[in-house]
Amino acid sequence: MSAVAPTVAARAGIDNKWLVASSIGVGAMMGSIDSSIVNVALPHIRGSVGATIEEITWVSTAYIIAMVIVMPLTAFLGSFFGQKRVYMASLALFVGGSALCGMAHSLTALVLFRTIQGLGAGALQPTQQAILRQTFPLEEQGMAMATLGMVLMFGPAIGPTLGGWLTDNYSWQWIFYINLPIGILGLFMVLEFVHEPEDIRRANHERAEAHKKDLDWQGVMLISVGAASLQYVLEEGQRNDWFQSNEISFFAFLAGATLAAFVVRELTAPAPVVNLRLFKERTFMAGTVIGGVQFAVLMSSMFLMPVFMQEILGFDATQSGLMLMPRAFVMMALMPVIGRLYNRLRPAALIGAGVLFIAAGCFQLSRVTTATSFRDLLLPMITTGIGFAAMFVPLTTVALSRIPRAQLTDAAGMNSFFRQIGGSIGITVFATLLTRFATQARASVGWHVSALRPEAMMQLGAMQHRALGLGFGTASRHAAMMFMNGRVAVQGIVLAFEKSFLLQGVCFLAILPLLWFLWSARSVDGLATGESVE
C-alpha cells in the first residue's frame, strides 16, 4: 500500500496553518490543564462523594486507563470516520464527560464519567500531532511542534494553582465545568479552520476498505485488554504490595499474555489495527524509546518534588505548585527558540544537550537536605526546564520525521502511548524505590545511632534537656529517644530522595547511546517519500 505524498511546495501553500495550529492548541491546552488540575481537588471530592483514600484514586486511574486504550487505536478509528471527525468526536466526548463529572454525586458515577472523559482525551494528542505535521511544510514543523509544546506545558504550569483557586473559592465541580467554554470554542475552531488533506482522505479510504475485508477485532480486543491491564498494574501495584496481591498478579499475567498475543497478531494480520512495522524505522523506534524515558523521568520528578517539599521541607500545596512553575515557564519560553534551531542543528545534538542539562539538574537535586530552601531548588528547576525544552521539540519532531503522511496518525498514536506508559512506569518505579531506599537508609543511619557512639549520646542528652524544658519531666528520656528516632527517620527519607534524584540523572545518561540512531536524521528528511513502512 502506498500513500500519495504531495510536494513540499504544495504543503507550504496552506495559508491558514496558524489558524489550524490555534484550533488544535485549544484542545491541547484543555487536555494538559485537566491532567494536572484534578489532583489538587481530590481531598474535597473525597469528602463530597464519601470515598476512602484508596477509592478516590480511581478518579485518576479510570481516566488514565481509558486514555491509554484509545491512543494506539486512533489511526484505526480515523481510517473509518476521518481524521477530523475523530478529533471533533473525541473533543466533544471529553467536553461531555467533563459536564457529567461536574454533575456527579457518587463515586461510581464520577469514575464512570471520568472514563468517558478519558476515552475522549486518548485520541486528542495523537491526532493533534498528525494534523500539525500534515499542515505545516517540512522546514516549519520544528516551530509547529514548539507551539504545541508551549501549549502542553501551559497546563502543568497553571493547572494545580488554578485547580486550588477554583476549589477554594467556588467548588470542585468547577475544575470540570471550566472545560465547557474552552471545549466548545475548540470545536467551533476545528470545524471552521481544520480541513483534512485530500491525500490523507484517500489513504484512509483505502485502509478502511482493507479493514472491511478482514476486520481485526482480535487486535482491538487484545490491545484494549492488554493496555488496560498494564495501566491498572502500574497504577494500583504500589498500593497493593505488588505481587503479594493475587489481584495484581492476575492482571500482570493478563497484561503480559494479551500484549504478547497482540504483537504476534498485528505482525501476521492482513489488515492490522495497529501498524507495529513502523518500529522497523530506526529513527521512529529510537525517538519513541527516548520519549518514553523522558516522560518517565519528567512524571516521576513531578511526583517526587511535591512530596519532598511538603513532607520534608514543610511547604504547603500552593508553595509546592509555585516551585514547579519556573521549570514549566522556562520550557515555554525556550521552545520557540529550540523550534528555530531545529532546522539549523542536528536533532540529535539538541536532544543530547537536553539530556545533559536534565542529568545536571538531577545531580543538583541529589544534594538536597532538610535545610534546602526555595532558592536552592530554583536552579535545578531551571536547569531541568532547559533540558526538557531542548529535548521535547526535536524529539517529538524527529521521531515522526521519516514516517509517511498517511501513517502519521498510527505513529503518533504509538508514540503517545509509549510516553504515557513511560510516565506511569516512572511514577511507579520511583515510588517503589523511594520506599525501599528510605527503609534501607533508615536502617543504615540507625546502625550508627547507638550508646557506643559519644556524639549520639551527646545529642540524646541535649534532646533530653530540651524535653525537660518543655515540661516532660520524668518522661523526658523517652521523649528524647522519640525525637532521636524521628530525626533518624527524616534523615533516612532525605537520603532516599537524594538517591532517587541521582538515579534519575543516571537513567537519562544511559539513553545517550540511542542518539546514534538519530544522528543521521535531518529536520527536512521526513515525509519526503510516500512509501509505507512495511
| Helix (H) or strand (E) run with residue 3 in it | none
Q: pLDDT tens-digit profile of 381-396?
A: 899 889 888 887 787 7
pLDDT reported for residue 14:
43
CB of 441 within 8 A of CB of 496? yes
pLDDT reported for residue 527:
42
Q: How confident is the model at residue 2 (pLDDT cuts 50, 70, 90)?
A: very low
pLDDT reported for residue 60:
76
Q: pLDDT tens-digit profile of 221-280?
A: 888 888 888 888 887 777 777 778 888 889 889 989 998 998 888 888 777 777 888 888
Residue 273 is classified by DSSP as S
Top pLDDT among 8 and 483 is at 483
375-395 per-residue burial string, b: 16 or more CB within 10 A, e: under 16: eebeebbbbbbbbbbbbbbbb
> How is residue 472 written as a grid cell?
516532660
CB of 317 within 8 A of CB of 164? yes
Distance of CA 90 to the CA centre of its chain: 19
Cα angle, residue 28 at apex, residues 23 and 32 outer, rounded to 5°: 155
Residues 6+ apart with CB under 8 A from 161: 318, 321, 322, 325
- The cell 507495529 sits on which residue? 276
pLDDT reported for residue 99:
92
> How is residue 164 written as a grid cell?
486550588
Q: How confident is the model at residue 3 (pLDDT cuts 50, 70, 90)?
A: very low
pLDDT reported for residue 132:
78
**CA 52 – CA 47 distance, rounded (Å):** 9
Name residue 531's beta-bridge partners: 2
Top pLDDT among 12 and 532 is at 532
Q: How confident is the model at residue 528 (pLDDT cuts 50, 70, 90)?
A: very low
CB of 260 within 8 A of CB of 241? no
Q: pLDDT tens-digit profile of 34-61?
A: 766 776 677 778 777 777 766 777 777 7
Amino acid identity for residue 293 in this structure: V
**CA 32 – CA 13 distance, rounded (Å):** 30
Helices (H) and strands (E) in the chain, counts: 22, 0
Q: What is the mean pLDDT of residues 96-118?
A: 89
Top pLDDT among 417 and 450 is at 417
CB of 16 within 8 A of CB of 165? no
Q: pLDDT tens-digit profile of 4-27?
A: 334 333 443 445 777 887 888 777
CB of 409 within 8 A of CB of 280? no
pLDDT reported for residue 253:
92
Residue 424 CB neighbour total at 10 angstroms: 22
456-494 per-residue burial string, b: 16 or more CB within 10 A, e: under 16: eeebbeebbeebbeeeeeeebeebbeebbeeebeebbbb
**CA 76 – CA 347 distance, rounded (Å):** 30
Q: What is the mean pLDDT of residues 402-412?
A: 78
CB of 162 within 8 A of CB of 37? yes
Crossing angle of helices 83-103 and 74-81, rounded to 10°: 110
pLDDT reported for residue 357:
92
Q: What is the mean pLDDT of residues 104-111?
A: 87
Q: By C-alpha distance, which of 120, 85, 99, 90 is closest to 191?
A: 85
